[in-house]
Amino acid sequence: MSLAFPSLRGAAPPRSVYVHVPFCRHRCGYCAFSVARASSPPVDAWLEAVRLDLDGWFEAAGWTEPAELDTIYVGGGTPSLLGGAGMERLAGVLAERFRWDPGSVEWTAEANPTSLDPEVAESWRALGVNRISLGVQSLDDAVLDWLGREHDAAGARRAVERCRDAGFERLNVDLLFGLPAEVRRSWRREVSEARELGAEHLSLYGLTAEPRTPLGRRVELGRTVMPEDDRYAREYLEAADLLSGAGYEHYEVSSFARSGHECRHNWCYWDGAPYLGLGPSAHSFLPPYRIWNVFRWDAYRRAVTRMAATEAVPTGTGGGAASLREGWEEIRGARARLERVWLGLRTRRGLLPGDLVRESSSAPEDPVARWMQADWIREVEGADGRRIRLTPAGWLRMDELVARLAG
């Protein structure tokens, strides 16, 4: 792609920011995120790079006043490796450009059970972090071992207790399903145990064998076989059933929340609201442009330093910024419509029936009618009238439906 960056002048300042911490003590065999291995991360260099990245956005968009934030999300990688001091310094970097009300901001930080010690949890809470997302993934030691995680099930439970002891009232627990058949697990028991952890929010992710990961290579060589569709579907539907029965609302394809505990930051993505992403691989959305940073930490660090040295910001034809902002796309017309359908269908909010009117009608049948018959889509009464919403069985087929609707 040519990197003649569009002008961002006049873009509305975002009310949400994502910061990527690209460090982990070791790399899990299935991980395709932007992660560098580091037992003690280069926090100084990372913070300086994030500060320059943030300055670049403000200069490119011509924002001169601090922007008000509703949500902050620090993800990774392993943000808990920042410790209390690193998170405090990150807050200082963000405060150079943003303002937030500690009483109303949603400030999430991801943590791994092994590096979230009591001091980290307490210092984060004192700083204003008010939501922790714990990378639990499984509550079975053999499964955690197969995944290459550093913690065991007891460690995951201790991490939940530490969060509560530190005063966190909003916890998310991530769980992985759809593992190969060679991994023996009782998924039903694990979901029940996860439910008993008492987290306000659970996120379920299906394992994928990404290319260029150890898992991807094993699958390519035929040494590991990913599960059949029916196992994947069975586990997803079983978890949806167990969690809904326990009072969690299944409000997005992967997300379950107790009343009042939905993730506001993620809603900003699903609503198509503007957000900034800082750090390697982070995506930003300044409508109508989605722009993403270079993927790897070392390339990001070099690019950000070069951008600062040449004082080139991504307002024109690239310069030093071109290698930092790796790519961009314009979300308009048919693309914008496709995104609206996809984002609407992935949440409980669903779509207005009019949103589904096809622009091209080359398909021989109406997929929506067929999906309603199969109970993959339902009509519900919303505050603004009739809406259509996917059922859990429909969410399993969401990509197929969106592809059909996109023509």
Cα 299 to Cα 22, 23, 295, 307, 390: the distances in Å are 12, 14, 7, 12, 40
Q: Decide: is 172 part of the binding site for ligand SF4 (CB under 6 A).
A: no
Q: What is the spatial distance between Cα 241 and Cα 392, in angstroms, rounded to a whole number?
A: 9
Q: Decide: is 31 part of the binding site for ligand SF4 (CB under 6 A).
A: yes
> How many residues line the site for ligand SF4 (CB under 6 A)?
11
- Which part of the chain contacts ligand SF4 (CB under 6 A), choosing from 20-28, 252-260, 274-282, 358-366? 20-28
Burial 202-225 (b: 16+ CB within 10 A, else e): bbbebbebeeebebbebbeeeebe
Residue 116 or 313: which CB sits closer to ligand SF4? 116
Q: Half-sphere exposure of residue 203, counting CA atoms within 13 Å on the CB side? A: 17
Minimum CB distance to ligand SF4, residue 120 (Å): 16
Residue 35 or 136: which CB sits closer to ligand SF4? 35
Residues 6+ apart with CB under 8 A from 340: 272, 351, 355
Cβ atoms 284, 292 nearer than 8 A: yes
Site for ligand SF4 in 102-131 (CB under 6 A): 112
Using only C-alpha atoms, the chain has a radius of gyration, in whole angstroms, of: 22
Q: Is the backbone peptide bond immediately before 77 cis, with ω within 30 degrees of 0?
A: yes
Q: Decide: is 281 part of the binding site for ligand SF4 (CB under 6 A).
A: no
Minimum CB distance to ligand SF4, residue 25 (Å): 8
Q: Decide: is 278 part of the binding site for ligand SF4 (CB under 6 A).
A: no
Residues 6+ apart with CB under 8 A from 347: 251, 252, 253, 267, 270
Residue 151 or 387: which CB sits closer to ligand SF4? 151
Q: Decide: is 27 part of the binding site for ligand SF4 (CB under 6 A).
A: yes
Which of residues 41, 56, 135, 367 is near ligand SF4 by CB under 6 A? 135
Q: Mark 51-90 with x for binding to ligand SF4 (rule: CB under 6 A) and - for no binding.
A: -------------------------xxx------------
Q: What is the spatial distance between Cα 305 and Cα 358, in angstroms, rounded to a whole number?
A: 47
Which of residues 19, 28, 239, 313 is near ligand SF4 by CB under 6 A? 28
Interface residues toward ligand SF4, by CB under 6 A = 24, 27-28, 31, 33, 35, 76-78, 112, 135
